[in-house]
A and B are shown apart, each in its own frame.
Chain A
């Protein structure tokens, strides 16, 4: 019985439908109604690229006290448990790269500067990301929100191929769509949990534009005292202690 030979990245990307198929998956992410569909699409994309595993991680400064990390896993979920137990997010060289760069990169080109970073990399390798392509996706306007698509292979040099550009091209589109989808979920989650009204959003937009209470009061035909009172309720709904923090939160969650 003949052994099946695994196709190389070059053979996979040479197929005429490779990029169109990846584009279709990216487009379907925008229509996904829940995270399970996105997980399936992520797995489908990794499979199409001949990879073994994939994950989409996003980061955000939630408020003054907390940072949040969200991970959609198309890989062994035990990786993420170990990642959390060791607080790897504090020493993740891939995440550090995604914070400061927008270009896709091969993971082995990122230096691990500390022992903890080496451990984080070893953990990823143990769970299938022996070689990996990291595709950052950042939010505009200097927000803290960012995403990183990680596509991994158990083969050490799987991605070291001149045809990699085709994969990075398609994966960039996919990472952007995944990030947009994640933001849409966050927006919907915050609207729901904080029960924000259209008036709340108007107030947040005024604050974003730098308007003081008196200016806002004139614009919406009320008193400055009523505006201040509305702000107290709004801050309470958002669980923040200042107008600036409220605007920051709303912006991070894509509300304004």
Chain B
């Protein structure tokens, strides 16, 4: 169980349609103190959370790859900023789920629904 965090899938040799959206989705709060950057990658849903805290004059940028909707939902539920930034947070959950759902589709699904 402990090694679940090390089970990030190795990138597949063939790029998928998800790679086309290299820059991903950026969500930001109105006050500019919270940013999320989401991107579907070959390994899963990559999320970078960037938070500026004026009280401790610090900025903490954390990045992680989520391989499942359950892991992403658990992380979202644990983040206390959801009370301070409900709109950004709601978008984060929606966009994250959508990218993960796209990622978890069978590989041949991309061929059924070509990008563009």
Contact = CB atoms under 8 A, between A and B. Distances in A.
Contact of A47 (B6, B61, B66): B6
Interface stretch (A82-90, A101-109, A170-178): A82-90
A39 B57 contact: no
Interface string B61-89: 11111100000001100111000000000
Contact of A43 (B7, B53, B58): B7
Interface string B35-68: 0000101111010100111011111111111100
A67 B48 contact: no
Contacts of B46: 34-36, 39
A93 interface: no
A210 interface: no
Contacts of B62: 70-73, 77, 80-81, 84
Contacts of B74: 78
Contacts of B78: 78, 81-82
Interface in A58-76: 62, 65-76
B8 to A, nearest CB: 4
A116 to B, nearest CB: 13
The residue in B9, B44, B62 that gathers the most chain A C-beta atoms within 10 A of its C-beta is B62
A128 interface: yes
A89 B53 CA distance: 12
Interface string A4-44: 00000000000000000000000000000011110110011
A116 B84 CA distance: 26
A149 interface: no
Given A69-B58, A89-B58, A44 B10 contact: yes
Nearest to B48: A35
Q: Interface size bucket, A side? A: 35 or more
A153 to B, nearest CB: 9
Given A69-B60, A73-B62, A128-B2, A84 B51 contact: yes
Interface of A: 34-37, 39-40, 43-44, 46-47, 51-54, 62, 65-78, 80-85, 87, 89-90, 128, 154
16 contacts: A34-B39, A35-B48, A36-B11, A36-B42, A36-B43, A39-B65, A40-B43, A44-B8, A47-B6, A54-B6, A71-B61, A77-B75, A78-B74, A81-B79, A82-B78, A84-B51
Interface of B: 2-3, 5-11, 22, 39, 41-44, 46, 48, 51-53, 55-66, 74-75, 78-80
Closest 9 pairs between A and B when the two form their complex, measured CB to CB: A36-B46, A36-B41, A68-B59, A77-B64, A43-B6, A70-B61, A52-B2, A80-B62, A43-B8
Given A52-B6, A154-B2, 10 more contacts: A36-B65, A39-B43, A40-B9, A52-B5, A66-B52, A68-B60, A68-B61, A72-B64, A73-B64, A77-B62
